[in-house]
Structure 1
Amino acid sequence: MSIDSLTDLRDQLFGAQPDPPFLLVLITALLALAVIFVRVTWRVGRNAITIAHEGGHALAAVLTGRRLTGIKLHSDTSGLTLSAGRPTGPGMTFTLLAGYVAPSLIGLLGAWLLAGNRITLLLWITVAALLAMLIMIRNVYGIVSILVTGAVVFGVSWYAEPEVQAAFAYTGVWFLLIGGVRPVFELQSMRSWGRMPQSDADQLAGITRVPAIFWVGVFLVVNLAALAAGLLLLAGGYLPEITLN
């Protein structure tokens, strides 16, 4: 690869794209809402939330010094992350805590990149993160899920026009920000029916002696705060323009 090609690649990756029109930001937010609140599309889209959820567990385990042994993703949109280490203590607490807040926090990071118009960089970071996660996947459905997701993101980042990249990136970030909230309500609903006795919140309660409902509240507060911050990053710059118009 020539120096000029490397320079072009660097500029494409780290260069800022033009500001998208407010209509695109609005339409992508509405599209993400539709995917989240329509049962059929949520059943498919929730796989992305699961990937982010289990990725959060995995990253937290590594950062706290636990030994990550594997990740499984299932067709019912459930997942499992296995790590070795002390069954109690800060490392295990942080690892359990990370799952339900990961989609929203990843969405917030994405919103920050989009606020700086780093659309291509966001897409490439996503591909890199998926490839890193792929190494630890331990079941066929999980491998296929990661490969398909990564291929779609890479295809958009490499072949699509800037307008399409922007629409794709904004939809994805809105989906993580808004979609990260819904599983918390699903979690509490299933807990109230006794269908998730070993949920992350219940495991946190077991090792911290703090009631599970407290941890459900923590998940919700963090995710709502991330949504509010993401909203300001993605749409805040358009408020003066909307007011003047």
Structure 2
Amino acid sequence: MASAFAVLNETVPLPGPELVGITALVAVVAVVTAFAVPASGRRSVFYRANFLGTLFHEGGHALVSVLTGGGVFRIEIDSPESGGTWHWNPSPFARVLATAAGYAMPPLAGLGAAALLHRGLSPAVLLLTLVTMLFILLVTRDMLTFVVVVAVGAVMFGALRWAPPWLKNGIAYAEAWLLLTSEIGGLRALLANRFAGGFRGQEDDAASVAERTGIPSLVWIAAWFALIGWAVWHAFPLLWHL
């Protein structure tokens, strides 16, 4: 495989609208399958695509913790929509930033991927995702997280090493759409939990930042929804090459 610098600057032909549309549909189906459990109790294979957003969510907590002078003890993924990051922070403000970064990271990463894909830089998206998986692997301590991280990393490495340009595009575009939309299901769950069980006693990112800032959790949830909308709005013309 070429050097990392060469891969970051390698371009491939832009895909046609068919591939862009198919990969967008994959993301839509993944989001829809996160909203309700089928009567059979068996989730479709598309539901497992939400693992990617969860990895970036927990990676967002970890990255901001490190960047603000803190550290990370471990990252643990429980399911395609659930995980946890045990981190420490040097100040209350840094703690708020690290906690808020979870729901912010996937759509922002998706927008960044869209900007690269607009320039034909699919290999760069794959390489940066591989680097992200290596970062998460350093603080992985359980088997499920290890398997998921290695599986995603193996797909990225295999695509970089052997995939033809159309497949590189397919994987990278699917990733961009998934990251842009993956947190919709999680935010919907935050709202559902509050309206079903009340606003007290919740233990999640919105409750944590609300407790530390005095800003109601509904405001934080609305802000994360707005961020997703903003990211999708700006990424859409980039991915469709409008």
TM-score (norm 2): 0.88
Q: Aligned to 1:79, what secondary structure does the other structure show? A: strand
Q: Aligned to 2:76, what secondary structure does the other structure show? A: strand
Q: Are residues 1:234 and 2:239 paired?
A: yes
Q: Deviations over 1:143-171 (max 9, x none)?
A: 11101111112112211111111111111
Q: Which is helix-richer, 1 or 2?
A: 1
Deviation of 1:10 (Å): 5.4
Mapped contact 2:65–2:98 kept (Cα < 8 A): yes
Mapped contact 2:27–2:174 kept (Cα < 8 A): yes
Alignment of 1:179-190 (within 5 A): 179-190=182-193
Specify the structure having the higher radius of gyration (Cα).
1
**What is residue 140 of structure 1 aligned with on the other side?**
143
Mapped contact 2:50–2:80 kept (Cα < 8 A): no
Choose the corresponding residue for 2:220, options 212, 215, 226. Answer: 215
**What is residue 65 of structure 2 aligned with on the other side?**
61
**What is residue 243 of structure 1 aligned with on the other side?**
none
**What is residue 128 of structure 1 aligned with on the other side?**
131
Tell me, in whole angstroms, the C-alpha distance in 1 between the residues paired with 2:27 and 2:111.
15
**What is residue 53 of structure 2 aligned with on the other side?**
49
Tell me, in whole angstroms, the C-alpha distance in 2 between the residues paired with 1:12 and 1:62.
26
Choose the corresponding residue for 1:159, options 154, 158, 162. Answer: 162
Tell me, in whole angstroms, the C-alpha distance in 1 between the residues paired with 2:15 and 2:180.
19
Tell me, in whole angstroms, the C-alpha distance in 1 between the residues paired with 2:7 and 2:208.
44
Bigger mean CA deviation after superposition, 101-110 or 68-77: 68-77
Quickly say closer, same or farther: Cα 1:212–1:156, change in 2 above 3 A: same
Q: Percent of pairs identical after alignment?
A: 29
Structure 1 unaligned regions, length at least 5: 239-245
Tell me, in whole angstroms, the C-alpha distance in 1 between the residues paired with 2:7 and 2:206.
42
Count of residue pairs the alignment pairs up:
231
Tell me, in whole angstroms, the C-alpha distance in 1 between the residues paired with 2:28 and 2:203.
29
Structure 2 unaligned regions, length at least 5: 35-42
Bigger mean CA deviation after superposition, 42-51 or 112-121: 42-51
Q: Are residues 1:224 and 2:229 paired?
A: yes
Q: Which amino acid aligns with 1:190?
A: N
Quickly say closer, same or farther: Cα 1:155–1:6, change in 2 above 3 A: closer
